[in-house]
Each structure stands twice: as structure tokens, then as C-alpha cells.
Amino acid sequence: MLDIAIQSLRNRALTASLAVIAIAMSVALILSVDKIRRDARESFLQTVSGADLIVGARSGSVQLLLYSVFRMGSATNNISWESIEDIKSRKAVDWLVPLSLGDSHKGFRVLGTSIEYFDRYKYGNKRSLVMEQGEKFDDVFDVVLGSAVAKQLQYGIGQSLVVAHGTGNVGLVEHDNQPFKVSGILAPTGTPVDNTLHVSLEGIEAMHVDWQSGMKVPGEGTHADTIRTMDLSPNAVTAALVGLKSRGTVFREQRAINTYREEPLLAILPGVAMTELWSLVRVFENALLVVSSFVLLAGLVNLVSVLFAGLNERRREMAILRASGARPGHIFRLLCAESALLSAVGIVIGTLVHYLVVGIVSVWAQARFGIDMSLSLPDVRDLMILLLVFVAGVAVGCLPAWRAYRQSVADGMAQRL
């Protein structure tokens, strides 16, 4: 029966190929969309993968995550430098990277931080920040650009730029007396780091030397060389990334910071807050699955159409098989076998196309969107999807098979005008 099915498909190579292509495209799409969905979620949850806690002024966990990691929104308050030093000196704390926000350049956020930021900040699967050009900031007025900032503004090493007070891009007062110079450009990460200008904490203080109570003091301003000789220790920062010596102490340290008596603080676990934020956009994740499911459905409908169209052309062939001694059950199994073969070949080709697409776009997806799409063997979920597609393909093949089963020999041999 299997040999007859193979020979029959060879005789109808064109129509069979169309059915295989439809199944293959559907399988490749649903596997690729599902992998992108899962890897995008995993990469999103690992936007910050090296920090155990994020500390900020008391507000909400999502709000703290948005302004400290994604540079969206503003903090309700700052953290005093005394509190930062106190947290850093705790026995369980291994390292602490302060973050200072509040300024921008042409719509891009400016982040004030320590030099340790470039070594401690991790994203994805524990990936480190890499300098694509130049060096990390060394001078008070050095700035390190994210890859998207450098690309969109067409900045290079040595470029001078002026930072503006505030986070908008229209009508802001600029710190034009203290221009910064680009010392380095980071490699693409697919994270908010790409859209950020990085300066030292001393640089943040330096640009506000001639400011009081959030307003610029009239006058010529202090010369840059004079500013370099000043004490530029920060009085407060916006947030901090904290790494612990042992992950087992994370809940204890979180509770200690949340009940800090000197000022109201909030410590969050990045992974938990990321999961909470991702749940807000889960509808888009599900929409991808719905679209790919409809594409698969269209492929199965095309398979049924091909089998039904071929069945009408093969009425005489079916009748000859019946006249040669084939029982109705043999005809039914023949068409089911053809459907199974078309589905199996389509699944194999679709899986190969899926891996080819992943192999081609994985590097681009990592650089552009920060999605780690590394190649791997099919997991249980992938195998379940392929099994479901195969079963569905065989099931829809039963429809034309049932019709052929009910056709009589006389109907097949009858001459129609």
C-alpha cells in the first residue's frame, strides 16, 4: 500500500509538491514564531542578568524597573549617597553600581554611573558589555555612547556634544558650558543600553555646577578645568544595581532594604519584576501564536484541497483498483497513506527551513533586538507541535479518503460528458 501511495504521488508530482510546500511553510512559520516568542521572552527577562537586586526610592516594582533599566519614566525621589554607602558596606553585598538619571541628549537618556558598570552589567545569557570603539570614560567630561545613539546621531570618537537638563527633546535648557567628548562606543546589545549615553557620576555633578534648585545660574559659567579640581562627589543617585555574595541571602537583603529606617527605599528582584512587566504585554505574545496557527490551518486546508482535486481526477484509477480486487478499506488506507506521506515530508522540509532561518537571523536578532536565538535540538514542545501537525495532516486526509471509500466501481467507470 505504501509503494502504491508513493507511485501515485510521483505521478502527481506538481500537485503533491504544492501540498508539501504549504505544509512546510506552515511548519517553518509556527516553529520559528514559537521560538522567537520564547527566546524574546527569555531575553526580555534577562535584560539585566547580573544583578541580584535593584534599589530605588519607594514606589512600585514595575515603575522602578522601567526607569532604572528601560530608561522610561522618572523616579519619585532620589537615594542619598549616605544610604548608598550604607548598603554597599553590608556584609552580604558583593558590589553596588549607582545609577543617576535626569538628563538627556536629543531624546536619548544620559546615565551617570561608575566605571564598574561596564564590568558588572550583564544581559542575556550573562553577556558582558563590549567596547566597539574607543575606551571607557576616564575624564570627567567623557561620554560612552550606546550603539543606537552613535548610529542615529552619526557620532564618532572625539565628537563633542552638549547634554540638556531634563528628559524631553524640545525646549530644554542645555549644559552648554560643559560639553562632553565621546570617548567610546559600545557594541550593540539589543537592550536599553544601546539608547543611552553613559557618563561618570562626577560628570553628572560637573554639568550641574552652575545650577541651583534646578535652575541655571546666570553668568558665563565655571570653566571645565576649574570644575575638574572641585570635589564632585555625588549627594544622591536615582537607583542602584546590587550584586550579592550569595544568592541565598537575596530575600533577607531585600527585606532589610525595604525596611530601611533612614529613608524609604524599595529593593526588587529583577527577574520577578520582569515577569510582572511581561505579563502586561502577553496579549501580543499570544497574538503571534494565533497568527501562526491560522497559517497552519491554511496549509491543512490546502492539503485537503489538493487531495480532493486529485480524487476527482483519479475516479477511474480508484475504480480500476476496486475492479482489481482492492476493497474500500484499501482505498481508504491508500489515501490516508498519501496524506501521511505529504504531511511527513512537509514537516521534515519545514523543520529544515526553520533551522536555516534561525541560523541566518540569529546574529542579526542578537545585535538588533537582543534576542538570543541559538540553535538547539527540538525540545519536547517542538516535538509536540510537529506531532500535532502530523496528526492533523492525517486527520484532514481522512475526508477525501472517506469519500473515495463510499464511491462505487460503477461510479468510477462511468463515462461523464
From 229, 228, 226, 209, select the one nearest 140 (Cα to Cα).
Answer: 228
- Are residues 3 and 337 in contact, defined by beta-carbon separation less than 8 angstroms? no
What is the per-residue pLDDT across 381-393, written as a single tens digit (0 to 9) for each?
Answer: 888 888 988 888 8
Instruction: Give pLDDT tens digits for 189-214.
Output: 888 999 999 999 999 988 877 666 55
Q: Which residues pair with 115 in a beta bridge?
A: none
> CA 27, CA 296: separation in Å to the nearest integer?
7
Per-residue confidence band for 9, with pLDDT thresholds at 50, 70 and 90: low
Per-residue pLDDT of 118-138, as tens digits, reads 999 998 778 899 999 999 999
What's the predicted TM-score (pTM) here? 0.71
**375 with 289: CB under 8 angstroms?**
no
Sign of CA dihedral 307, 313, 314, 319: positive
Q: Give pLDDT tens digits for 344-376.
A: 988 999 999 988 988 887 777 666 665 666 677
232 contacts 202 by C-beta, under 8 angstroms: yes
Contact status, residue 298 vs residue 61, Cβ threshold 8 Å? no
Take residue 299 and report the three cell numbers written for it: 496549509
pLDDT at 209: 79
Written as one letter, the residue type at 45 is: L
Q: How many Å is the Cα radius of gyration of the chain? A: 32
Q: Where are the alpha helices (DSSP H) in 46-80?
A: 61-68
pLDDT in tens, 276-290: 888 777 777 777 778
pLDDT band, residue 417 (cuts 50/70/90): very low
Q: How far apart are CA 385 and CA 296, in angstroms?
A: 11
Tell me which residue has cell 562626577. Answer: 202
